[in-house]
Amino acid sequence: MNNIVSIGTSHHIAPIEFREKLAFSEEQLIESLHNLRNSYHLKEAVILSTCNRVEVYAVANPQMITESPTKTLLDFLSHYHRIGADILKKWSYLHQNIEAIQHLFRVTSSLDSMVVGESQILGQVKEAYDISRSAGGSGTILNRLFTKAFSVGKRIRTETTIASGAVSISYAAVELAKKIFNTLEQKTVAIIGAGEMSELTAKHLVANGVSKVIVANRTYERAVNLAKKFNGIPVSYDENLDFLIDADIVISSTEAPNYMIQRKPLADIMRKRKHKYMFLIDIAVPRDIDPDVSKINHAFLYNIDDLEAVVASNLKDRYEEADRAEKIVTQEAQRFHDQLQILEVNPTIKALHQQFQDIADVEIQECLNLANLSKTQESAITSMANAIVKKLLHHPVQNLRHSVNDGNADHSQYVHALRELFALDEKYDKEQE
């Protein structure tokens, strides 16, 4: 039987120091998906890695896995990231079957996000799924699951106002900047990294009065492309921080493995600035800015976790809509789970029908070969045999389907018993593929 399992961690239960240890680059995602299928013998897998969460969704292969699928996922993350299993258990959650389905639906609907109703997570999940599908990680079950998850996310955004209002991580960054400077007019922002989060934050800042934008990136062409959108100044990042001398606000969001801004070089910049206030927001995971930067006078450093308090004050109007969305998620998760159970019993039902029909066909042909019957008589015998097959299987099939629709956990035992009793081997499974 199909067993959907997931393991993950998020901003809800784990600090950034732990989450950044579990983060995957795109190259690591592809490598890990192959590893999960080949070395850990999982039928399907999708890995989601964002600033706020790392999650693995998988379908177990009961013929090849010798231990519980949740333990398999735990072992994978522990070995891959070289993190002790006990520490991993402390800061992670495990879900199975309907709980895993419901959790994914909550994620794609942004109900599990730091900012409830934010729109980025749906695109992030789609990207993770596309990578998995391209790498051969997802299959029949996860394809159905993620397609449904996207549908649920869209439905909630259509039927509720959970996504209304300018509430996002980038908007929270702007709110913090306003508290420090009172006004953003005539301020200069320096953006390190040219990704989507950097662009979104820059848009909010410019819309709130920032007059000058500096974009620094290791790839100069990307810096040029982003700077054009804001009539800004592109800079090639080469560890020389002089471009920060005029910056009042610094936003850093890269995928660099090490700190892009360290304490001593920035302290030198602050002296050149005559210690004018500088507001630094590190929205990268792993972090781009050395936490010790906060010890520099007049330098105010916030990381992505610090934004949560700002976000919380902007969520009051969304709580009622979130309750409505939660009900939709619960209903859709149960409906999908029920459909999945029906899909699981259908091959057995088809195989049972096929076996009975094959036997009937053989016996009909032997009967017809022995007797000299008219076409009408042959047709009558064939119809009678087919009717007997249908009537013999009617109650067993109906009871099996009812056990699924009623949420009977024993339906898997019924399926197993039927396959054993009637020797429904792989021959019939392959014929239905």
CATH assignment at residue 196: 3.40.50.720
CA distances from 389 to 172, 367, 400, 401, 418 (A): 66, 16, 17, 18, 16
Domain boundary among 164, 196, 220: 164
- Reference 281, options 398, 408, 173; nearest CA is 173
Helices (H), 23-119: 26-38, 69-81, 85-90, 98-108
What is the pLDDT, as a whole number, of residue 165? 53
CA 204 to chain centre: 26
Q: 253 is written with which tokens?
A: 């969001």
Strand 212-217 relative to strand 188-192, pairing: parallel
First to last CA, the chain: 16
**Percent of the chain having pLDDT more than 90?**
55
- One domain for residues 8 and 145: yes
The CB density around residue 158, as the number of other CB atoms within 10 Å, is 8
- One domain for residues 103 and 238: no
367 included as an active-site residue: no
CA 303 to chain centre: 22
- On average, the pLDDT of the chain sits at 87
Contact assessment for residue 199 and residue 285, using Cβ atoms and an 8 Å cutoff: no
What is the pLDDT, as a whole number, of residue 409? 54
φ/ψ of 303, rounded to 5, equals: -105, -175
Contact assessment for residue 297 and residue 159, using Cβ atoms and an 8 Å cutoff: no
Judged by DSSP in three states, 54 sits in strand
φ/ψ of 5, rounded to 5, equals: -130, 155
Domain boundary among 164, 179, 196: 164
- One domain for residues 112 and 236: no
What is the pLDDT, as a whole number, of residue 430? 47
Angle 209-212-217 from CA coordinates, rounded to 5°: 125
Q: Is 84 exposed, middle or buried (0-12, 13-18, 19+ CB in 10 A)?
A: exposed
- One domain for residues 353 and 217: no
Q: What is the torsional sign of CA 332, 338, 344, 346?
A: negative
Which stretches in the chain have pLDDT values below 70? 1-2, 62-66, 164-168, 313-315, 405-412, 425-433
The CA distance from 233 to 387, in Å, is 80
Residue 104 lies in a domain: yes
What CATH number corresponds to the domain at position 26? 3.30.460.30
Judged by DSSP in three states, 188 sits in strand
- One domain for residues 376 and 413: yes
Contact assessment for residue 167 and residue 310, using Cβ atoms and an 8 Å cutoff: no
Query: Residue 429 half-sphere exposure, CB side, CA atoms within 13 Å?
Result: 7
What is the pLDDT, as a whole number, of residue 172? 80
Which residues are bridge partners to 57 per DSSP? Answer: 6, 46
What is the pLDDT, as a whole number, of residue 433? 44
What total of structural domains would you count in the chain?
3
Active-site residue, from 51, 163, 235, 360:
51
Cβ contacts of residue 224 below 8 Å, gap of 6+?
234
- One domain for residues 233 and 296: yes
- One domain for residues 11 and 53: yes
Structural domain harbouring 352 = 338-396+403-432
How many DSSP H helices and E strands does the chain contain?
16, 10
